[in-house]
Structure formats: C-alpha cells, structure tokens
Amino acid sequence: MTETPLRYMEYAVTLAEAPKEVSLTIAVSNCVFRCSGCHSPYLWEDKGELLLPALPGLIRTYAGLISCVCFMGEGQNPSE
C-alpha cells in the first residue's frame, strides 16, 4: 500500500489549543473520520501543501514566538 504524504491547508499562531502555550497550529487535511458536527470539514479532502517539507521552515519562522506545535485534523499517514 502506498501512503499518501501529509498535507496542510493553513496554519496560525494560537493561544487556545494547548493550555499555557503559544501554539503554531497547523490544519492537516485528509481526515477520514467524518465526525458529526466537524469544526473543519474542509480538512476531509486530501489537498493543500506538503507538510513535512514545509514544517522546518514554519517552525523557524515562529521560533521566537511559539512554545509548541499542534496539528489539527487527522491526516492519514502513520509513518510521518
């Protein structure tokens, strides 16, 4: 089986995702759970930018501001 690389749709620096942390919150696409009342149904499709190549640059950009990284959505690639 070929695994689909993780992709993300958007990101933001947020204060509410993790208690007492400033989070770089990244919305990962290709969620397969289809929860009733999903807060982000736009994450159900497999689209967006490749996550792994972009992640180091995103962290470097916000390194002086963030204290953690949060991934929203449930991208389906257990090896990444």
Residue among 46, 39, 34 at smallest CA distance from 5: 46
Query: Is residue 75 a contact partner of residue 1, using CB atoms and an 8 Å limit?
Result: no
Footprint of ligand SF4 on residues 59-78 (CB under 6 A)?
73-74
Identified binder of ligand SF4 from the candidate list 12, 38, 52, 59, rule CB under 6 A: 38
Q: CB-hemisphere CA count at 13 Å for 12?
A: 6
Identified binder of ligand SF4 from the candidate list 14, 40, 76, 77, rule CB under 6 A: 40
Q: Which stretch binds ligand SF4 (CB under 6 A): 3-11, 12-20, 36-44, 55-63?
A: 36-44
